[in-house]
Amino acid sequence: MNLLHAYDQVDIYLVLAAFLLATGVFGLIRRRTLIGMLISGELIFSAASLNFMALNHFAAPDPAAGQIFVLFIMGLAAAEVAIALSIIIAVYRNYRSINPRNLSELNS
Amino acid sequence: MSSLPIAEYIAAVIFFFCVATTVVGALIAVLATRIIRSVCGLMICCLGIAGLYYFLHSPFLALMEILIYIGAVCVTIMFTVMLAEPDEPACEKARGAAVLWGAAALAVGAAICWGLSRLSLAGKWTPAVTLVNDGSVEAIGVSLLTTYSMAFELISLVLLVAIIGALVIARPGRRQS
């Protein structure tokens, strides 16, 4: 593997995407606040986008398709963040806390 | 790349700087205890990813990454952090359980990283023989308005529904009490 031309090889992008996905899942399990989980979810979105872009540039016959896909992923991430944050604010108004441990009203 | 030999070294240095930025940002985002630092880690990570998109010959998406992720998503998260004081309470007596969860999360993360890396390094990614277009902004625009016009309209509908839904959910209880 030629380090000088590492940016022209697909390997490092794919490994980096796997690393981002792993950190996202790690944070999703470890975090105990809703916003921390949301941030980990954004990392997972980024991992998927990077994977799409790498394979789009190195293996796909249509270079525009992957970019449009990533654009759609960004739009979905923005929509998801808007909804999740409004839910978090509504939860904070009702419970005066956003610790997921306190949100156990349905837990008999 | 170009005829200048030093240009290759500069490009390689910038590339590894982007990779390091992404890795460090992701680690800050999941490991910081204060949630505000975690948001800043997400910002750093997105900056590095934007640089990587530039190396993947897509300056348009690099701009969009900065605009949407850093400019919109992270700033919105910061607003919520200021509104709702989400800092984790100082860990009470459940110390052992936290360590156990951390170890389990680390194991799962390491397994995912190792497995996916092995899978992607073992695969043979053959470059495409013929390219349909050159992947420029113009080609993206033409594809958006022809092949993907339905998905384009649907994503605008999803964003509209998300805006209305966010307003409806966050609206009640705004009165001062």
Closest approach of A51 to chain B, Cα-based (Å): 10
Same domain for B5 and B71? yes
Q: pLDDT band at residue A61, thresholds of 50, 70 and 90?
A: confident
Partners of B25 on chain A (C-beta within 8 Å) are none
Residue B150, domain extent: 132-177
Q: Does the residue B93 lie in any domain?
A: no
Can you tell me the distance from the alpha carbon of A17 to that of A23, in angstroms, rounded to the nearest whole number?
Answer: 10
Structural domain contains residue A103: no
Across the interface, whether the CB atoms of A18 and B116 are under 8 A apart is answered yes
Check pLDDT > 60 for residue B177. no
Chain A residue with Cα closest to B132: A62
Question: Is B139–A64 a contact, with Cβ atoms under 8 angstroms apart?
Answer: yes
Find the residue in A nearest to B123 (Cα).
A11
| Residue A105 in domain | no
Domain for residue B96, yes or no?
Answer: no
- B83 CB-side CA count, 13 A: 18
pLDDT of residue B86: 60
pLDDT of residue B94: 62
CB contact under 8 A, A71 and B110: no
Is the distance from CB of B44 to CB of A50 less than 8 angstroms?
no
Cα torsion B9, B17, B116, B73 to 10°: value is -140
Q: Once rounded to an integer, what is the mean pLDDT over residues A6-21?
A: 90
Domain annotation covers residue A71: yes
Residue B125 is assigned to a structural domain of this protein: no
Name the residue of chain A whose CA is nearest to B15's CA.
A7
Query: What is the domain count for chain A?
Result: 1
Quick check: is A92 in a domain?
Answer: yes
* A104 domain-assigned: no
Mean pLDDT (whole number) for B156-169: 92
Long-range contacts of B87-93 (CB under 8 A, 24+ apart): B87/A33, B87/B34, B87/B35, B88/A32, B88/A33, B88/A36, B88/A99, B88/B33, B88/B35, B89/A99
- Among B55, B88, B121, give the residue marking a domain's end: B88
In a domain, B100, yes or no: no
**Which of B79, B125, B142 best probes binding to A when mutated, by most A CB atoms within 10 angstroms?**
B125
Residue B78 lies inside a defined structural domain of this protein: yes
Q: What residue numbers bound the domain in which A14 lies?
A: 7-98
Residue B149, domain member (yes or no): yes
- Tokens 């209880």 belong to B173
Distance (Å) from the C-alpha of residue B77 to the closest C-alpha of chain A? 7
Phi, psi angles (nearest 5°) of residue A5: -110, 35
Q: Is the residue at A107 inside a domain? A: no
Q: Specify the number of domains making up chain B.
A: 2
**Model confidence over B9-66: pLDDT tens digits?**
898 999 999 999 999 999 999 998 888 999 999 999 999 999 999 999 999 999 999 9
- For residues B81 and B159, state if they share a domain: no
Given CB atoms, is B47 within the 8 Å cutoff of chain A? Answer: no
- Would residue A87 count as lying in a domain? yes
Is there a single domain that holds both residue B84 and residue B138?
no
Q: What is the pLDDT of residue A90?
A: 86
Distance CA B37, CA B34 (A): 6
pLDDT of residue A98 exceeding 80, the answer is: no
Q: Do B6 and B75 belong together in one domain?
A: yes
For the stretch B128-145, pLDDT in tens is 788 888 888 899 999 999
Instruction: Give me the residue from B126, B132, B166 closest to A59, CB to CB.
Output: B126
Cα distance from B73 to chain A (closest Cα, Å)?
6
Q: What is the pLDDT of residues B74-129, one digit of tens each?
A: 999 998 888 877 665 555 556 777 788 888 889 999 999 999 989 888 888 888 78
Least confident of A51-60, B1-10, B109-118: B1-10
Task: Record the tokens describing residue A76, joined without a space.
Answer: 């979905």
What is d(CA A81, CA B165) in angstroms, rounded to the nearest whole number? 12
Look at B29 and A43 and tell me if their CB atoms are within 8 Å.
Answer: yes
CA B63 – CA B50 distance, rounded (Å): 7
- What is the complex's ipTM, to 2 decimals? 0.89
Residue B97 included in any domain: no
Looking at per-residue pLDDT, the higher value among B152 and A31 belongs to: B152
Domain CATH code at residue A78: 1.10.287.3510
Q: CB of A29 within 8 A of CB of A72?
A: no
Closest to A31 in 3D by CA, of B43, B95, B101, B45: B101
- Please report whether residue B95 resides in a domain: no
User: Is residue A106 assigned to a domain?
Assistant: no
